[in-house]
Structure 1
Amino acid sequence: MIEAAMIWNEPNNKSHWDPELDPDWSRFATMAMLAADAIASENPTVTKILGGISPIDADFMALMKQYGALDHVDAVAVHGFPLDWNLWQIQEWPQKIGEISTVTDLPVWVSEVGVSSFGAEEVQLWGLRRTAELLLGNASRIQWYSLYDLPREWGATTRHREAEGSSYYRHFYMGLLREDGTPKPALEEFLRYTPEMGLVQWFHFEDPRLDDAVAWMKRLGVTNVRTGLSWADSFRPNALDWYDRQMEALADFDVTITFCFTPEHRGVMPHHTSPPLVPEEFAEFCATMTRRYAPAMAASPVRAVRASAA
């Protein structure tokens, strides 16, 4: 069920990794290498991607290369939102990908790109069209964020809060579908770009939108989907039941699974952005999920007989 495994999400963004606890990102690099090797040990055919970075920072990627982390993955990824949060203009997308390509020969995925409809739904429509013009054919994979608006009562996983103007509220309007499930104008435009353009949809624990999301993605012609399995959620009651349900629902897609979020009791500090106390525990979580949802193909009976005869 898993085609690709992304190791963490936005490690250079303090909404997802605490730089005060890991100021040189050496803890992150060590954890990422352990996780990549654990995934490969379970199934070497799963594509391993270093967690998509935001902001797009060639110096951060060079640091990961210096630590040796890029030797353990098959691709790197970037996230960009130039109409909402980034300090660059949308037409700079090719330049941004080029900056990363000067650091590494690995394929560069755009594993999150999107436009909020907070200000106007017409802005999102234009932004989707312009993004497709700039990125299709210029990145190894493009995954649009997202299918659904985020329900306001759930809250956004970000450091942005109300004190930062509209930054926080933009998180709630990134979907092609409104919170009530009705389509925005950009939904019909998105149909023009599938299956070349994939989709990102984070599913919360026991998310009630799962089945409807799968139906919408099939209707839209989506073939590759990025979502996540939270390490922190693995300590909830019935966690495996939820993981099984989510992954079974997504079985018809090429799934990029993102492994992330530290359980509070297993972090250096009790927060999901904290480096883990024991990085091998995160690696084991990645290995366990790979073994469960992307098991390596067993040797054929003929090959097994030959091996035993030898």
Structure 2
Amino acid sequence: MIEAAMIWNEPNNKSHWDPQIDPDWSKFAEMGKLAARAIHDVNPQVKRVLGGISPIDPQYIQRLAGHGLIEELDVIAVHGFPLDWNLWNINEWPQRLDEIRAVVPDHELWVTEVGVGSFGAEEVQEFGVKRTAELLIGKVPRVFWYSLYDLPQAWGATTRHKEAEGSSYYRHFYMGLIKEDGTPKLGLKAFEPYAGDLGLMQWFHYQDPRLDDAVAWLKRLGVKHLRTGLSWADSFRPDALGWFDRQMEALEDFDVTVTFCFTPEHLGIEPHHTSPPRDPQQFADFCAQMIERYAPVATNDARPALAAAE
């Protein structure tokens, strides 16, 4: 079920990693190396993926290589939102991929988040789905569209953008193919012909009420590849393992890339989910525990593993 484990999410985006605490990303690299080794020790068949970088920056990859992280990984991942946040044209996707390939020619390259919002008009997203499919399918082994659902307005966006910035913040709520009230957008119809090749990225919040409906939509669309997350911070919530078990069992029919990220406030150098942990080995231990629970080397079926864990 789990084909890949992603180490963090957008580490070069200050919405997800604090560069004031770790200005040269040496702390991130050390944590990433420990996590990559821990994942490999539990199941060497699970691909280890660098948390998708945003912006797409080859110099950042070279920086991590200098810290020794890249050699511990199997896949380099990038994120791109050229019609919403990035300052480049959607037609530049091939160029952006080539820039990363040039610095890591021996690694697989995946696009683990690509999206176009409907903030301005649903027709913009409809175009974006079709053009993204044309530009990326067949060019990289995995592409994940972000996302299936709009972010509910009441939940708030986990981002450095502030409401006073206008559309930069509010665009976060319009990236789904389905509206908050469950109404499909034009983009969903545009996505359906490509669903077998374009995977989907969907974050599921702790005790997310959308889980079962999401699985039904994914199967109806014919999605094969799904990227989601298991939050290290959420692992300290009440009955966290019960929620993780329910989530992963619901997703067992898909090839899953699972993202491990978010520092528990009480374990960070600063009390924030973007903070480097005081002890990076604790993050590595969490990654190992999740792989052992949901992707043990002895089986590809999550259900016996869950039963054994209980």
Question: TM range, normalised to the smaller chain?
Answer: over 0.9
* In 2, Cα distance between equivalents of 1:53 and 1:121: 27
* In 2, Cα distance between equivalents of 1:7 and 1:38: 11
* In 1, Cα distance between equivalents of 2:221 and 2:21: 42
Cα deviation code 1:146-168 (max 9, x no counterpart) = 00000000001101111212010
* In 2, Cα distance between equivalents of 1:67 and 1:219: 44
What is the CA-CA distance between 1:140 and the residue it aligns to?
2.0
The one-letter code of the counterpart of 2:140 is A
* SS of match in other structure, 1:154: coil
Work out the number of aligned pairs and report it: 298
The answer for the alignment partner of 1:74 in structure 2 is 74
* In 2, Cα distance between equivalents of 1:138 and 1:247: 29
The answer for the alignment partner of 2:270 in structure 1 is 269
The answer for the alignment partner of 1:32 in structure 2 is 32
The one-letter code of the counterpart of 1:156 is A
The answer for the alignment partner of 2:209 in structure 1 is 208
* In 2, Cα distance between equivalents of 1:20 and 1:114: 28
* SS of match in other structure, 1:51: strand
Query: What runs of 5+ residues in structure 2 fail to find an aligned partner?
Result: 300-310
The answer for the alignment partner of 2:87 in structure 1 is 87
What is the CA-CA distance between 1:297 and the residue it aligns to?
1.3
Cα deviation code 1:61-81 (max 9, x no counterpart) = 111111111111110000000
The answer for the alignment partner of 1:240 in structure 2 is 241
Cα deviation code 1:70-129 (max 9, x no counterpart) = 111110000000000001110100000000001002111000000010110000000111
Q: Write out aligned runs for 1:222-237 (5 A).
A: 222-237=223-238
* TM-score (norm. length: structure 2): 0.95
* In 1, Cα distance between equivalents of 2:142 and 2:23: 30
Cα deviation code 1:169-191 (max 9, x no counterpart) = 00000001000111001111111
> Are 2:35 and 1:22 equivalent residues in the alignment?
no
The answer for the alignment partner of 2:191 in structure 1 is 190
The one-letter code of the counterpart of 1:221 is G
Identical columns (%): 68
Query: What runs of 5+ residues in structure 1 fail to find an aligned partner?
Result: 299-310
* In 2, Cα distance between equivalents of 1:187 and 1:242: 28
* TM-score (norm. length: structure 1): 0.95
Structure number, greater radius of gyration:
1
* In 1, Cα distance between equivalents of 2:239 and 2:60: 37
* In 1, Cα distance between equivalents of 2:142 and 2:252: 19
| Cα RMSD (Å) | 0.7
Cα deviation code 1:33-81 (max 9, x no counterpart) = 1000000000000011011000000000111111111111110000000
User: Which segment drifts farther, 65-74 or 220-229?
Assistant: 65-74
The answer for the alignment partner of 2:61 in structure 1 is 61
The answer for the alignment partner of 1:305 in structure 2 is none
